[in-house]
Every structure is written in C-alpha cells, then in structure tokens.
Amino acid sequence: MGGLTSARAVTFVLTRDREASKAFYTATLGLPLVADDPFASVLDMNGTILRITQIDGYVASPHPVLGWQVPDIAQAIADLTGKGVTMTIYEGYDQDAMGVWTAPDGKAKVAWFPDPDGNVLSLTES
C-alpha cells in the first residue's frame, strides 16, 4: 500500500432507523443517493462517500460526527431551518440567536444541528 494521501475518503454515520436517516440526508440535506443495499445507504458528499449504516440500539455520541465547511454560515443555517432543521444551542457557548459560535480570534464560526438519531453535525465558516 502506497499510503492514503491519494485515496478517496469514506465516512460513516450510524443510525437506528436507516430509512429516516436516508430521508434526512437526501431530502433535507440534499445529498445524492448513489447506492442502497442491505448493508448501507451510500451518498455522495461532493466526492466523499457517506455510508449510512443501521445498528440496532445505536445511541449517538454527544460529539460531532460530520461537518461541512460553508462559505456563508448564515445562509446555510437559513436553508436548513427552512427545511425544518433546528440548530443546537449549547449552554455556556455564547452562541448568537442563530446558534453560531464565533472563535475567540473571530475567524471561525461554527453551528451544530442533529440528524434524526441525534448525531451532531456541524457547519463551519472560516
């Protein structure tokens, strides 16, 4: 093996209900479905493969599992909330009314939202 620097990335999201997750990631987030088999629903994230895999009894972690770098976080949030997504406000994070936390240096802005299983997803503008 010659290393992974030129290999195509694959990421995984676990779920208790694959059909609900597939609907969220395709209809709400707009990711194209490229394959669906007994093992996973496979989506395209701008060239990165996302595999949604059902695990009975799965419980989401409280930490982000997947995120997107966006050019305009306010517009991305408006698009998501227009589709029924609720941004997560964390106590003590000093987020604004839209749920955006700004890094102390003012360069990065981050917002979080859950998928149907409670997996934490994020948006970052920097």
SS3 of 65, please?
strand
Indicate whether 28 and 90 sit together in one domain: no
pLDDT value at residue 1: 55
Indicate whether 100 and 115 sit together in one domain: yes
Sequential pLDDT tens for the chain (126 residues): 568 888 989 999 999 999 999 999 999 999 999 999 999 999 999 999 999 999 999 999 999 999 999 999 999 999 999 999 999 999 999 999 999 999 999 999 999 999 999 999 999 999
Indicate whether 41 and 71 sit together in one domain: no
Q: Kindly give, in sequence order, each residue whose CB lies less than 8 Å from that of residue 88, ignoring residues fewer than 6 positions away.
A: 99, 111, 112, 113, 114, 120
Indicate whether 89 and 38 sit together in one domain: no
Indicate whether 67 and 98 sit together in one domain: yes
Of 33, 58, 83, the position where a domain reaches its end is 58
Closest among 124, 125, 92, 121 to 15, alpha carbons compared: 121
**Contact assessment for residue 115 and residue 121, using Cβ atoms and an 8 Å cutoff:** yes
Indicate whether 80 and 52 sit together in one domain: no
Indicate whether 95 and 35 sit together in one domain: no
What domain range is 76 assigned to? 60-126
pTM here?
0.93
Q: Kindly give, in sequence order, each residue whose CB lies less than 8 Å from that of residue 15, ignoring residues fewer than 6 positions away.
A: 21, 52, 53, 54, 55, 58, 115, 116, 117, 119
Give the CATH number for residue 17. 3.10.180.10
Question: Concatenated DSSP letters for 19-32?
Answer: HHHHHIIIIIT-PP
- In this structure, the number of other CB atoms found within 10 A of the CB of residue 97 comes to 7
**Contact assessment for residue 13 and residue 22, using Cβ atoms and an 8 Å cutoff:** no
Domain count of the fold of the chain = 2
Indicate whether 79 and 50 sit together in one domain: no
